[in-house]
Every structure is written in C-alpha cells, then in structure tokens.
Amino acid sequence: MLISAILSAQRFSGGLLGGINATQIDGDNWGGYYKMGLTFGAYVSTHFKENWGGQLEIKYSGKGSSTPFKYPEIRMISLRYVDLPVLVNYQVSEKLKIQAGLSFNYLFSAMHYDGEWFEFEEKCRKYETAIALGGSYSITNKLDIAIRYNYSIMPVRSKYSTSSWGEGAWFNNVVGFSLYYFIGQRQ
C-alpha cells in the first residue's frame, strides 16, 4: 500500500521526440557543422517542486563530421549512438524551459565515406559522456520545440598520429533541433 501511495503521488508525463542534429568532430581538422544526423526516441519528465523538474530520454542520435562543401571530394564520418540524457529542467515561464545535464551515450556504428562507405578501422570509444545544455518552447499544449547543445567530456577517439582523419583527439560537438510530442496530460 505504501508503494502504491508513493507511485500515485508521483506525476510523470512523457512522449516522443524527433529532429535533426548539426554535428562536427573537434579534432578531425575539418571544422564546421556540415554533417546532419537524425535523432528520435522517447522521454519521460517529472516535476520536483516550484519551477524545477527532471527529464530522462532514450534516443537514436546520428553524429559525425563532413568536409566542407567547397572541398572537391566529400569525406564523411558517421557515428551512430544510443543516447541517454539525464536532465534538470527549470521552468522560466509558462512556455519557456531551460535544461542542463549529462548524456550517457553508446556508439553502435562507426563508418566513414571516402568515395564509398567503409566500417571505421580506427578505434573509437564505445561509451561517451557529454554535457547537455538547452531549452524548449511550448508551441501548443501537446508540442514543444527544443534546441540543445552537446559536447563530449572525454574524447571519443584518442590521439592517433598516423591518421589521415586528423591527428588530435576527437570530441563530438552537436547542436540538436527537436520536436517533443506529449502523450497524455502535460504535468
């Protein structure tokens, strides 16, 4: 009975999310947010007190890097992750919310394009931890639009001096734009 009372006292809301990432890899010598990737998944959020709350997401996230469009030959790095952001929310106004937290991510595919697609031969770390900062704006009662910045805390690939993909350590650098659709009642 106590567990039932605690669970019924908690207020959770959730839904689906989808959007696009503008990405680059710091350390690959290319620079610029030329690689686009999809992001989609699900989330759950709760209200703690006053203007504070929390949010947990699980989502697919396409990251990577591409040479600038002005280069004669296009080269790309495609990194596919399952991301698990854990965020603290602060409700600034009725429609505006800011967020900060950490994202724990698992790399399940690493490919590169140099005329055709190949599995990435150089070792990338399977696990990534990134800072996450952003905000969202309520368009309707069921739909929010959000922007979020993510940056790797630890390198996703260590220094590799003979690499043609850049000699420094790599850090994912991502600006994401997403729509959040609420299922059920918003808390």
Q: What one-character-per-residue DSSP string does 39-108 give?
A: EEEEEEEEEEETTEEEEEEEEEEEEEEE--TTSSS--EEEEEEEEEEEEEEEE-SSSEEEEEEEEEEEEE
Indicate whether 145 belongs to any domain.
yes
Q: Is the pTM value of this prediction over 0.95? A: no
Please give the pLDDT value at position 118. Answer: 87
Indicate whether 83 belongs to any domain.
yes
- Residue span of the structural domain in which 34 resides: 12-183
Indicate whether 62 belongs to any domain.
yes
Q: How confident is the model at residue 3 (pLDDT cuts 50, 70, 90)?
A: very low
Q: Which residue, 155, 49, 151, 58, is CA-closest to 100?
A: 151
Look up tokens 């603290």; give the residue.
88
Indicate whether 2 belongs to any domain.
no
Provide the token pair at 66: 């591409």
Indicate whether 6 belongs to any domain.
no
CA distances from 135 to 73, 101, 152, 177 (A): 36, 12, 19, 10
CATH of the domain at 162: 2.40.160.20
Residue 70 or residue 10, greater confidence? 70
Please give the pLDDT value at position 7. Answer: 45
Please give the pLDDT value at position 69. Answer: 78
Please give the pLDDT value at position 121. Answer: 65
Please give the pLDDT value at position 12. Answer: 85
Q: Find out whether 175 and 149 touch, Cβ atoms under 8 Å.
A: yes
pLDDT digit string, tens, across residues 105-131: 999 999 988 888 888 766 789 999 999
Indicate whether 71 belongs to any domain.
yes
Please give the pLDDT value at position 167. Answer: 61
Which residues, 6+ apart, have CB-to-CB distance to 62 below 8 Å? 21, 23, 36, 37, 38, 39, 78, 79, 80, 81
Q: Find out whether 52 and 90 touch, Cβ atoms under 8 Å.
A: yes
pLDDT at 6 over 60: no
Indicate whether 18 belongs to any domain.
yes
Please give the pLDDT value at position 9. Answer: 47
Q: How many independent structural domains does the chain possess?
A: 1
pLDDT digit string, tens, across residues 126-172: 999 999 999 999 999 999 999 999 999 988 987 654 454 556 788 99
Which residues, 6+ apart, have CB-to-CB distance to 68 below 8 Å? 30, 31, 32, 34
Residue 28 or residue 179, greater confidence? 179
Computed on alpha carbons and rounded to an integer, the radius of gyration of the chain in Å comes to 19
Indicate whether 5 belongs to any domain.
no
pLDDT digit string, tens, across residues 57-103: 999 999 999 988 777 888 899 999 999 999 999 999 999 999 999 99
pLDDT digit string, tens, across residues 34-57: 999 999 999 999 988 889 999 999
